[in-house]
Structure formats: C-alpha cells, structure tokens
C-alpha cells in the first residue's frame, strides 16, 4: 500500500479550508502540507503514488451515525441492504464509517445482542463500522451489562418512547439508563415520539376505515414528537446525562432542542435527508405502493407547515448538529404489507448512498456553508460518538478515510443507477450536482474514479470512546 499523496485539491475540514496536499502512509494521514513544500515536491520524484485531485474537494469520509442494515423489523420484513451491499453503497456515496445498532429485544440479554450483531457484520463490510445499542428491555441486569459494554467500544444507547409493542421504555426505565449514562459519559439517543398516544390514534383511524399511507403521517402528528422531545430533555436534565435526539423531523421537536441548548444543556439532535427534502403532501399522500414506499417514523412532515425550512435553519444555527440517514430500506414486496393497512408497513427508506450529495445541494443552494457540510456529515458525528481524532477530520494521525469530491459533476439519482439493494428509490429522477469520485478507507481505495475496487471484509469494527461533546 505504501505512501500516497493526494495532490492539487482543496482540503475542506470543519474548521479550515485551503489548498493542500494530503500525505498518507499505510492507513493513516501523516501530513497536510503545502503543495510548494519540499516534501510535496520530492514526493513527485519518489515511489509515492500521486493521486490527482485538481479541481476537487478533498474531504474527510462521511460518518453516517444512524443506519439499519439487515435489520429484522418483523418476521416478514428485514431491511434489504446487507452489511455487504449497504456499506458498499455508502462508500459509493462518500461515506466511510457507518454506525448501526445491536438490538436487545425484550426478554433477551444485551451481550447476546452484541455478539449476534458482531457475527453478522464480521467479514462483510467494505468500510469501517460500529454499533450503538438499542435497549428494548431495561432491567437491573441490563444496567449492569450496559456499563460493561463500554469496554467493548459501545458508548451510546438508543431508547424508544415509541413502539409500545416492542422497543418502548417508560419514563422510569428511561431515567435509569440516563442516570447510568450520567455516571459513565455514554450518549443517550432517543426516538422521541409519544408511542402510547400514537397507537390510540392509529387504531382509531384504522377502525373508521382510514387505511392508506397518509394516515401514517396523520396519526403521528408533530405535536407528539415535540411532546416526547420535551419529556426526554427534562428527564436527561434531571439525570444529568447528555441526550441526542435521532431522526428529528419537525419544528415542534426542534424548538425544544433549541431551548435546551440555549439553556446550556448537552442536548443534540440529528435530522435526515428525507425530512429536509420529502414531504407528507408530495410523497406520503400518494395512492398504493407509491405512498407506502414513503412510510418511515417519524413520518414525512407537511411542507405547508414549514418544517423543512426550520430544519435547514437548525442546521445553520447548530440546533441540529448532525445529518444521518436512518437508512432502513425495504423492497416493494415487503412494503406491500402496508397497502391495505398502513400500520403493517415496515418503516424506513433507502438513503445511505445519497446523504453527502443531497446535503451538498444545501451548500449549492446557500442553506449551509461548505465547511458546515463537512461538519454535520462527518466531523460532529465522529465526535459525538467517540471517534474523535480518528474519523471525520483530515489531519495527521487520523485514519486516511478521504473522499475526492467533484463539486461540478451532475448526475441523476434513481433505482437504475444506485447501488443500494432496493428495487425503487425515494429519490427517483432527482438531479444533483456533486459526486464522490474516489473514496479511500484507511488508505485503501474503495471507489477509484467511479469504479468500485473495495473488498468485502476490509471494514473493521470500531471500538468507540466516550463521546466528546463538551468544548
Ligand atoms: O422508519 C424508521 N425510522 N425506521 C427505522 C427504525 C427507527 O425507528 O429508527
Ligand atoms: Zn427510531
Ligand atoms: Zn433508525
């Protein structure tokens, strides 16, 4: 593998942008140097591999902090991207680290959940990966197991205020896990929707014959996301733990996060491309399979209510710190389960390949700056989930996870050309400008000049540290 020099590009970090060459030795970045420096000039005459990045941005590989690969959502539906296909698709789009979930189902033990997931992913991934823990059964043993998991590199726990039939924890259970996180420094991730109230609304709707996909949205109103976010924040404040609200979709929830952050609390939130670009009126409110394909939770929100504008504003003001995908794709065969009863549709969309490109449109449209793009897609997720210094930055000592990004390349998204294992696309026909041309993971090409040259099994499991969230 040896020494590589990425030459002639514009290096974009969250805190700096400038013309620089990037020197890589084996798996690490060893220098970010002036193109006129002696090292850069002498490299041209040695046996260094020179990678031409003229006219390109050279950015840290994307860190997608929320994905669900081969997730068994129900006995009938498992998310369609495997660890192999999903990590390859991520790399095609300029993401070099994914954080998936090990899930503790009710009545089972946490170590079992982790072992199972490690086995499933081992030898499969094209890029590096890690796991959060979805906690589905909070009891005394779970609390002991959670603190032991820190040594295994699992330093973040997802709790659910939604899904009363499966993943739900009540406020007392949530408080206990938050107290543990306050002691250890682990990160609490929250699915903030009031699932008890939502289930009443869902069943009432179905019983009066309201069965179509639009009712998925109408029975999960933004008020019940705002309420849950408020409650989660108060519980975290009482416990003294950090809190990260996942897949935030509404201005209702965002206002709660903004208030807490103004009060100086360690409260963070992520949104996802689907909430920035897709809507209840245009996508969920379609007949048949077209609407069902867009069922995800929280649901797509009403464009007319201004949620998308609020989310873009939140990304600018840092009330939203991260954009992740919540990638959870299902093919039409599985989505059809929800055609006559929206409650039966497996929840989730396919996004893992397109996150960097979709957010780059925000740069081109003046919603966010170039550096902010890198910060929300790469640097901050690395910091908030214990990968600081290793991922999300182009600096000496960091892993050589690097994307050479052409800001001018125009292309059209869709099922014919994407690499995700899904037979349709929520992004069909969307024209974008900007594309990852070459992608390196720990100094190895995974994508080179738009050819996949990666290897299944190259990706390593990342043991994560305690999150770095205080400045
Ligand atoms: O619809 C979604 N979000 N599916 C994935 C599961 C979750 O709650 O994140
Ligand atoms: Zn969730
Ligand atoms: Zn999710």
Structural domains present in the chain? 3-60+390-452 (2.30.40.10), 62-388 (3.20.20.140)
- 165 in Cβ contact with 195 (< 8 Å): no
Question: Which atom of ligand 1 lies closest to the CA of 158?
Answer: 9
Q: Which residue(s) pair with 18 in the sheet?
A: 11
Question: Which atom of ligand 1 lies closest to the CA of 66?
Answer: 9
Tens digit of each residue's pLDDT (9 = 90 or more) over 311-354: 999 999 999 999 999 999 999 999 999 999 999 999 999 999 99
Residue in 416, 378, 345, 422 with CA at minimum distance from that of residue 82? 422
Structure pTM? 0.98
How far is the centre of ligand 3, averaged over its atoms, from the C-alpha of 36 (Å)? 46
Residue 130 CA, distance from chain mean position: 12
- 26 in Cβ contact with 443 (< 8 Å): yes
Rounded Cα distance between 410 and 407, Å, is 9
Residue nearest to atom 3 of ligand 1 (CA): 297
- 131 in Cβ contact with 464 (< 8 Å): no
Tens digit of each residue's pLDDT (9 = 90 or more) over 40-49: 888 888 899 9
Tens digit of each residue's pLDDT (9 = 90 or more) over 219-245: 999 999 999 999 999 999 999 999 999
Ligand whose nearest atom lies closest to the CA of 159? 2
Rounded Cα distance between 90 and 352, Å, is 5
- 397 in Cβ contact with 34 (< 8 Å): no
How far is the centre of ligand 2, averaged over its atoms, from the C-alpha of 357 (Å)? 23
**How is residue 106 written in tokens?**
């009710």
**pLDDT value for 265:** 97
Of 159, 297, 299, 350, the one to substitute when testing ligand 1's pocket (max ligand atoms within 8 A of C-beta) is: 297
Report residues near ion ligand 2: CB below 5 Å: 191
- Cβ neighbors of 263 (< 8 A, separation 6 or more) are none
**pLDDT value for 46:** 82
How far is the centre of ligand 3, averaged over its atoms, from the C-alpha of 17 (Å)? 32
Q: How confident is the model at residue 134 (pLDDT cuts 50, 70, 90)?
A: very high
Radius of gyration of the chain (CA): 21
Burial of 189 (0-12, 13-18, 19+ CB in 10 A): buried
Ligand 1 shell residues, CB under 6 Å: 68, 191, 247, 296-297, 326, 328, 347-348
Mean pLDDT of 83-96: 99
DSSP 8-class letter at 463: P
Ligand whose nearest atom lies closest to the CA of 132? 3
Rounded Cα distance between 121 and 124, Å, is 5
How far is the centre of ligand 2, averaged over its atoms, from the C-alpha of 80 (Å)? 17
How far is the centre of ligand 1, averaged over its atoms, from the C-alpha of 326 (Å)? 6
Ligand whose nearest atom lies closest to the CA of 244? 2
Ligand whose nearest atom lies closest to the CA of 64? 3
How far is the centre of ligand 1, averaged over its atoms, from the C-alpha of 442 (Å)? 30
How far is the centre of ligand 2, averaged over its atoms, from the C-alpha of 101 (Å)? 11
- Cβ neighbors of 384 (< 8 A, separation 6 or more) are 65, 187, 244, 268, 321, 322, 467, 468, 469
Of 348, 351, 352, 426, the one to substitute when testing ligand 1's pocket (max ligand atoms within 8 A of C-beta) is: 348
**How is residue 457 written in tokens?**
């099994």
Residue nearest to atom 4 of ligand 1 (CA): 348
DSSP 8-class letter at 391: S
**pLDDT value for 1:** 66
**How is residue 249 written in tokens?**
């979709």
Angle at 79 between CA 77 and CA 84, to 5 degrees: 140
Question: Which atom of ligand 1 lies closest to the CA of 348?
Answer: 1
Tell me the three state secondary structure of residue 351. coil
How far is the centre of ligand 3, averaged over its atoms, from the C-alpha of 62 (Å)? 18
Mean pLDDT of 101-128: 97
Average pLDDT of every residue of the chain: 97
Q: Give me the phi and psi of 333, to 5 degrees please.
A: -55, -40
Rounded Cα distance between 110 and 118, Å, is 12
Q: How confident is the model at residue 166 (pLDDT cuts 50, 70, 90)?
A: very high
| Least confident window among 150-154, 252-256, 361-365 | 150-154
- 385 in Cβ contact with 13 (< 8 Å): no
Residue 465 CA, distance from chain mean position: 18
Rounded Cα distance between 60 and 451, Å, is 19
Q: Give me the phi and psi of 149, to 5 degrees please.
A: -70, -20
DSSP 220-259: S-HHHHHHHHHHHHHHHHHHT--EEE-S---HHHHHHHHH
- In 93-187, alpha helices (H): 110-121, 140-149, 171-184
Ligand whose nearest atom lies closest to the CA of 324? 3
Q: How confident is the model at residue 471 (pLDDT cuts 50, 70, 90)?
A: very low
Mean pLDDT of 456-460: 98
Ligand whose nearest atom lies closest to the CA of 71? 1
Report residues near ion ligand 3: CB below 5 Å: 326
Of 134, 250, 271, 347, the one to substitute when testing ligand 1's pocket (max ligand atoms within 8 A of C-beta) is: 347
Strands 57-60 and 49-52, sheet pairing: unpaired
For residue 374, what are the CA distances in angstroms to 17, 102, 403, 441? 11, 27, 11, 17
**pLDDT value for 178:** 98
- 198 in Cβ contact with 128 (< 8 Å): no
Rounded Cα distance between 161 and 169, Å, is 6
Strands 72-74 and 21-25, sheet pairing: unpaired
Tens digit of each residue's pLDDT (9 = 90 or more) over 250-274: 999 999 999 999 999 999 999 999 9
Asked whether the bond before 322 is cis by omega within 30 degrees of 0, the reply is no
Q: Where are the beta strands (DSSP E) in 161-255?
A: 187-191, 243-245
How far is the centre of ligand 2, averaged over its atoms, from the C-alpha of 394 (Å)? 31
How far is the centre of ligand 2, averaged over its atoms, from the C-alpha of 391 (Å)? 24
How far is the centre of ligand 2, averaged over its atoms, from the C-alpha of 193 (Å)? 9
Residue in 459, 441, 456 with CA at minimum distance from that of residue 391? 441
Question: Which atom of ligand 1 lies closest to the CA of 295?
Answer: 1
Residue nearest to atom 8 of ligand 1 (CA): 297
Rounded Cα distance between 230 and 253, Å, is 7
Burial of 120 (0-12, 13-18, 19+ CB in 10 A): middle
């Amino acid at each position: 593998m040896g020494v590589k020099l990425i030459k002639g590009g514009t290096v974009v970090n969250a805190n700096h942008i400038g013309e620089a060459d990037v020197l890589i030795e084996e798996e690490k970045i060893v220098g970010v140097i002036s193109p006129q420096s002696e090292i850069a000039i002498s490299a041209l005459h040695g046996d260094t591999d020179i990678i031409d990045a003229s006219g390109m941005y050279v950015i840290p590989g994307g860190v997608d902090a929320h994905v669900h690969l081969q997730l068994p959502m129900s006995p009938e539906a498992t998310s369609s991207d495997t660890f192999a296909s999903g990590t390859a698709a991520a790399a095609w789009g300029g993401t070099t680290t994914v954080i998936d979930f090990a899930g503790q189902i009710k009545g089972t033990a946490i170590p079992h959940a982790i072992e199972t997931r490690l086995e499933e992913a081992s030898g499969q991934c094209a890029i590096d990966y890690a796991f959060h823990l979805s906690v589905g059964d909070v009891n005394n043993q779970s609390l002991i197991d959670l603190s032991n998991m820190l040594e295994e590199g699992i330093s973040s726990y997802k709790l659910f205020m939604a899904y009363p039939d499966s993943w739900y924890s009540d406020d007392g259970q949530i408080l206990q896990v938050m107290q543990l996180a306050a002691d250890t420094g682990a990160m609490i991730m929250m699915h903030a929707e009031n699932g008890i109230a939502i289930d009443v609304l869902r069943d009432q709707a179905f019983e009066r014959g309201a069965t179509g996909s639009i009712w998925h949205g109408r029975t999960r109103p933004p008020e019940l996301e705002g309420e849950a976010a408020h409650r989660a924040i108060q519980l975290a404040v009482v416990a003294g733990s950090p809190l990260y609200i996942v897949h935030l979709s509404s201005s209702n929830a965002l206002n709660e996060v903004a208030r807490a952050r103004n009060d100086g609390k360690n409260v963070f939130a992520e949104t996802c491309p689907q909430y920035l670009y897709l809507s209840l009126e245009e996508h969920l409110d379609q007949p048949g399979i077209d609407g069902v394909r867009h069922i995800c939770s929280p649901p797509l929100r009403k464009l007319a209510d201004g949620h998308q504008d609020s989310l873009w504003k939140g990304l600018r003001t840092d009330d939203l710190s991260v954009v992740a995908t919540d990638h959870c794709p299902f093919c039409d065969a599985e989505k059809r389960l929800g055609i006559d009863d929206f409650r039966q549709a497996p929840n989730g969309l396919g996004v893992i390949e397109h996150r960097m490109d979709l957010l780059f449109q925000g740069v081109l449209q003046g919603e966010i700056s170039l550096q902010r793009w890198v910060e929300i897609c790469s640097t901050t997720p690395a910091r908030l989930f214990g990968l600081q210094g290793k991922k999300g930055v182009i600096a000496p000592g960091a892993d050589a996870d690097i994307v050479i990004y052409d800001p001018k390349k125009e292309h059209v998204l869709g099922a014919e050309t994407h690499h995700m294992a899904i037979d349709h696309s929520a992004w069909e026909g969307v024209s974008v400008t900007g594309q990852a041309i070459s992608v390196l993971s720990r100094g190895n090409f995974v994508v080179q000049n738009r050819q996949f040259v990666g290897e299944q099994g190259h990706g390593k499991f990342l043991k994560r540290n305690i999150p770095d969230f205080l400045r």
